[in-house]
């Protein structure tokens, strides 16, 4: 049976949603966009570093430290309360417009669909509940139990064991090329959701399929 593993941040959930909260605080949309982009970049970088160093801290810690860096780099000072507000807003990010309809369609078709995330399970559950997606998913698989992050090969095996599926029957659906490459390395099939105009990483590997909108996925997968 085909099993779909959906990355959360950047695939189902739009991390750019935090920009509006930050812009309200700063009164400066371009600066808020700059900080939001840098925050996301450092959030991922810190998770990669910690995985390589085998010095785990939860994704929420990486997120807080990345925010501190992005603000410092932009020479912006926010109060502790404002930083806490931003971090709480990270649990209320919006779903991409195409996410709800696609998950509802898959659910009605009986296709198994899981959230597969670097975030802690409780935080991911809160986020997906707030975004109106949780009821359409068969479960949440977090890397937190392994104390490492994607694209560590162990996390992809952890998903297979948790979801009781085989690599050959499993598709990773992700807007993040590093995640696609990690899943391919683990023997999964992959679908890249191209959320931006950025090209795919030039590693002489490519996802099995690419879509610009999640609504195109069932047809591409032959469901």
Is residue 123 scored above 90 in pLDDT?
yes
Q: Is 82 helix (H, G, I), strand (E, B) or coil?
A: helix
**Closest-CA residue to 70 (of 38, 40, 24, 48):** 38
Percent of the chain exceeding pLDDT 70 equals 100
Domains of the chain: 3-13+93-221 (3.40.50.1000), 16-89 (1.10.150.240)
The pLDDT value recorded for residue 222 is 87
- The pairing of strands 3-7 and 170-174 is parallel
In the chain the first and final C-alpha atoms are separated, in Å, by 11
The pLDDT value recorded for residue 119 is 94
The pLDDT value recorded for residue 92 is 93
CA dihedral (104, 101, 155, 46) in degrees, to 10, reads -150
Residue-wise pLDDT tens digits, 137-188: 999 999 999 999 999 999 999 999 999 999 999 999 999 999 999 999 999 9
For the chain, give the number of residues: 223
Identified catalytic residue from 7, 144, 152, 179? 7
- Measured in degrees and rounded to the nearest 5, phi and psi for residue 121 equal -60, -40
Is residue 126 scored above 90 in pLDDT?
yes
The pLDDT value recorded for residue 223 is 84
7 is catalytic: yes
Is residue 16 scored above 90 in pLDDT?
no
Rounded to two decimals, the pTM is: 0.94
Is residue 58 scored above 90 in pLDDT?
yes
């Amino acid at each position: 049976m085909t099993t779909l593993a959906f990355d959360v941040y950047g695939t189902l959930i739009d991390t750019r949603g935090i920009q509006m909260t930050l812009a309200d605080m700063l009164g400066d949309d371009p600066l808020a966009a700059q900080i939001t982009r840098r925050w996301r970049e450092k959030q991922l970088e810190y998770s990669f570093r910690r995985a390589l160093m085998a010095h785990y801290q939860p994704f929420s810690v990486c997120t807080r430290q990345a925010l501190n860096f992005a603000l410092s780099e932009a020479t912006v000072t926010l109060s502790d309360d404002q930083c806490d507000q931003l971090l709480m807003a990270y649990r209320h990010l919006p779903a991409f417009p195409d996410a709800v309809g696609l998950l509802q369609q898959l659910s009605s078709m009986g296709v198994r669909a899981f959230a597969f995330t670097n975030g802690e399970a409780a935080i991911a559950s809160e986020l997906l509940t707030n975004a109106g997606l949780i009821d359409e998913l068969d479960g949440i698989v977090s890397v937190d139990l392994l104390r490492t992050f994607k694209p560590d090969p162990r996390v992809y095996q952890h998903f297979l064991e948790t979801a009781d599926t085989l690599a050959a029957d499993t598709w990773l659906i992700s807007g993040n090329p590093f995640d696609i490459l990690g899943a391919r390395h683990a023997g999964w099939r992959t679908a890249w959701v191209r959320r931006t105009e950025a090209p795919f990483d030039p590693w002489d590997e490519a996802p099995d399929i690419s879509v610009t909108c999640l609504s195109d996925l069932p047809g591409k997968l032959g469901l």
